[in-house]
Amino acid sequence: MKALSISNLKKEYQGGVQALKGINLQVDEGDFFALLGPNGAGKSTTIGVISSLVTKTSGQVKILDIDIDENHSLAKKKLGVVGQEVNFNQFEKVGDIIRNQAGYYGLGFRKSKENAKYYMKKLDIWDKRNEQARKLSGGMKRRVMVAKALVNNPELLILDEPTAGVDIELRRSLWDFLTEINNNGTSIILTTHYLEEAERLCRNIAIIDSGEIVENTSMQELLTRLEEETFIFDLVKPINELPDVNEFEVVLENPRRIKVTLAKDQGLNTVFKKLSEFGIEISSMRNETGRLEELFLELVEPTLKEKEQ
């Protein structure tokens, strides 16, 4: 079974913004999945549709095999969502917010109390239970949101940029906590614009850009790919067959052009040496920057900038 299955999902906002242009996404049960993308890519819109806060234009969404259009209330019970914005009444007490949410999901009084206590303790907000939520710091409010999303023990937890704007300590403790509940069987999807965060936590990843999924693979495969560089070599004399090289990957694009892929730390000298051994002369070369690589510069840069500050 899939924890989440999205088919051909489109969202056009009033005014004509095409926030989602027909995305497809599958997340396995038990997975820790990252939806990575720059600002405005469509991450929150996707989560909004899954959690029925945003009306989709077309397409299908299934949570644990339950179509959200066919059985909305059952789908909702399987799902916990931590949005980007504070989603509780800040004048209420922390404990009440979390217990009431459990009640809203249909948990009985005793069970609500028990679950609320469990997650408040887990998230280190138990001693804040009698405080008015508005008095808490931003980071503490984020913990309240996580406890609220988890109080009915959802099978799928979705978090929208959970660590944006929170301090490093909370970021770390949230990472540990999410890893723990994922190990205990909860499927987790998070959106982030931090590559580092996706890298730390997630097994699988999709990258979204301008409302389209541009990449969907395992984290490991993606990282390997990012450590490679591709060059295009134009040749002086045409060749019909490639030489037999093991040191790097080479593809014959056409008789006068080859494409070489090598690890970023490998250096081009080996390539030049090897090619000249086979009598291949190069007239010009250039670095091929893929769309993915360009996108990654955008995704990695904000992290670096924040670190410099």
- Give the footprint of Mg ion on this chain (CB under 5 A): 43-44
Q: Which long-range contacts (CB under 8 A, 24 or more apart) does 177-182 make?
A: 177/122, 177/123, 177/146, 178/32, 179/32, 181/150, 181/157, 182/30, 182/32
Phi and psi dihedrals of 81, rounded to 5? -125, 130
Q: Which is nearer to ligand ADP, 45 or 100 (CB)?
A: 45
User: Would you say 130 and 93 are in contact if contact means Cβ atoms under 8 Å apart?
Assistant: yes
Q: Does 205 bind ligand ADP (CB under 6 A)?
A: no
Q: Is 17 in the site for ligand ADP (CB under 6 A)?
A: yes
Instruction: Tally Cβ neighbours within 10 Å of residue 62.
Output: 21
C-beta of residue 125 within 8 angstroms of C-beta of residue 157: no
Interface segment toward ligand ADP; rule CB under 6 A; list 9-17, 143-151, 236-244, 264-272:
9-17
Task: Tell me: does residue 106 bind ligand ADP (CB under 6 A).
Answer: no
Q: Which of residues 159 and 271 has its CB atom nearest to Mg ion in the complex?
A: 159
Instruction: Find the binder of ligand ADP among 42, 80, 83, 162 (CB under 6 A).
Output: 42
Among 44, 163, 186, 187, binds ligand ADP (CB under 6 A): 44
Among 8, 39, 224, 284, binds ligand ADP (CB under 6 A): 39
Rule CB under 6 A: say whether 50 interacts with ligand ADP.
no
What, of ligand ADP, Mg ion, none, does residue 39 touch, CB below 5 to 8 Å by kind?
ligand ADP
Interface with ligand ADP, residue 16, by CB under 6 A: no
Residue 281 token pair = 């002369």
CB 36, min distance to Mg ion, A? 12
Whichever of 114 and 298 has its CB closer to ligand ADP, that residue is 298
Do 84 and 165 form a contact (C-beta atoms < 8 A)?
Answer: no
Considering the complex, state which of residue 99 and residue 193 has its C-beta at the smaller distance from Mg ion: 193
**For ligand ADP, the closer CB: 19 or 150:** 19
Asked if residue 141 lies in contact with residue 159, where contact means CB atoms within 8 angstroms, the answer is no
How near is the Cβ of 221 to ligand ADP at its closest, in Å?
23
Closest CB to ligand ADP among residues 44, 115: 44
108 binds ligand ADP (CB under 6 A): no
The yes or no reply on residue 165 touching ligand ADP (CB under 6 A) is no
State yes or no: residue 83 binds ligand ADP (CB under 6 A): no
Binding of residue 41 to ligand ADP (CB under 6 A): yes
The radius of gyration of the chain from alpha carbons, rounded to an integer in Å, stands at: 24
Residue 23 found at the interface with ligand ADP (CB under 6 A):
no
For Mg ion, give the closer residue by CB, 54 or 285: 54
Min dist. Cβ of residue 159 to ligand ADP (A): 12
The interface partner of residue 76, options being Mg ion, ligand ADP, none and the CB cut-off 5 to 8 Å by kind, is none
Q: Is residue 166 within 8 Å of residue 141, measured between CB atoms?
A: no
Residues that bind ligand ADP (CB under 6 A): 13, 15, 17, 19, 37, 39-45
